[in-house]
A and B are shown apart, each in its own frame.
Chain A
Amino acid sequence: MTSSYLHAPGFIAGDRPKIVTSRFEYADSYKIDRFIATGGYQGLRSALSRPAQTVHDDVKSATVLGRGGAGFPAGVKWGLTPQEVWPRYLVVNGDESEPGTYKDRLLMERDPHQLIEGCLIACYAAGLSQCFLYIRGEMAVAQERVAEALNEAYEAGYVGKNILGTNFSVDIVLHWGAGAYVVGEETALIESLEGNRGMPRLKPPFFPAANGLYGQPTIVNNVETLANLPWLMTNGVDAYTAIGTKTSPGTRMVAVSGHVVRPGVYEIVNGTTTFRDLIYGQEFCGGIRNNNALKAFVPGGGSAPWFTSDQLDLPFEGSQVGAAGSMLGSGAIMVMDETTDIPAAALTLTRFYAHESCGKCTPCREGGTWLERILSRVVDGKGTDADLAQLIEVGESICPGDFPHASNEALGLTAVPFPYKMTTICFVGPSAYVPVHSALTLFRSEFEARITKRTMIKVTAVGVSS
Chain B
Amino acid sequence: MSRLTDAHVALAKEIIGRYPRPKSALVPLLHLAQEQDGYITRDAMVHIGELVGVTSAEVYGTATFYEMFKFEPVGKYVVNICGTMSCALMGSEELMHHAEQRLGIKAGGTTPDGMFTLEHAECQAACTEAPCLQVNYRYRYRLTPADLDELIDDLSAERLTHEIPPHGTVAKVRQHIASHRGVGVVAPELVTESPAWLNGKAAL
Contact = CB atoms under 8 A, between A and B. Distances in A.
Do A and B make up one complex? yes
A86 interface: yes
Contacts of A127: 194-195, 197-198
A124 B89 CA distance: 44
B86 A87 contact: no
A51 B204 CA distance: 9
A56 B138 CA distance: 38
A380 interface: no
A144 to B, nearest CB: 4
A348 B88 contact: yes
Interface stretch (A71-79, A188-196, A275-283, A406-414): A188-196
Q: Select the residue from B134, B136, B171, B192 with max chain A CB neighbours within 10 A.
A: B171
B88 A345 contact: yes
Interface in A41-61: 45, 48-53
B5 interface: no
A169 B160 contact: no
Contact of B127 (A100, A150, A216): A100
B186 A130 contact: yes
Interface in B145-204: 160, 162-163, 170-178, 180-188, 191-204
Given A171-B183, A176-B170, A336 B89 contact: yes
Nearest to A140: B137
Nearest to B83: A348
A86 B193 contact: yes
A127 to B, nearest CB: 5
Contacts, number: 271
B196 A264 contact: no
Contacts of A186: none
Interface stretch (B25-33, B95-103, B105-113): B25-33
A80 interface: no
By CB atoms of chain A within 10 A, which of B54, B88, B136, B188 has the most? B88
A151 B61 contact: no
Contacts of B192: 86
B89 A259 contact: yes
B128 interface: yes
A197 B88 CA distance: 29
B25 A195 contact: yes
Given A45-B204, A195-B27, A352 B19 contact: no
Contact of B177 (A129, A154, A258, A332): A154
B125 A101 contact: yes
A256 B129 CA distance: 10
A371 to B, nearest CB: 15
Contacts of B134: 138
Contacts of A89: 186
Given A9-B141, A143-B171, A151-B176, A160 B182 contact: yes
Given A143-B170, A263-B128, A124 B141 contact: no
B62 interface: yes
A14 interface: no
B46 interface: no
Given A138-B134, A340-B89, A345-B88, A192 B126 contact: no
B85 A100 contact: yes
Contacts of A98: 123
Nearest to A148: B173
B172 A355 contact: no
A105 B86 CA distance: 17
A35 interface: no
Contacts of B67: 178-180
B137 to A, nearest CB: 4
B203 A137 contact: no
B42 interface: no
B89 A345 contact: yes
Contacts of A372: none
A8 B140 CA distance: 10
Contact of A140 (B19, B128, B171, B185): B171
Interface of A: 1, 5-6, 8-10, 45, 48-53, 84, 86-87, 89, 96-102, 104-105, 124, 127, 129-130, 136-141, 143-144, 147-148, 150-151, 154-155, 157, 159-161, 164, 166-171, 173-181, 192-199, 214-216, 255-259, 263-265, 298, 302, 332, 334, 336, 340, 344-345, 348-349, 351-352, 355-356, 358
8 contacts: A99-B86, A101-B127, A102-B126, A151-B173, A168-B196, A179-B69, A214-B21, A332-B127
Given A161-B181, A358-B65, 4 more contacts: A87-B188, A127-B194, A130-B183, A141-B138
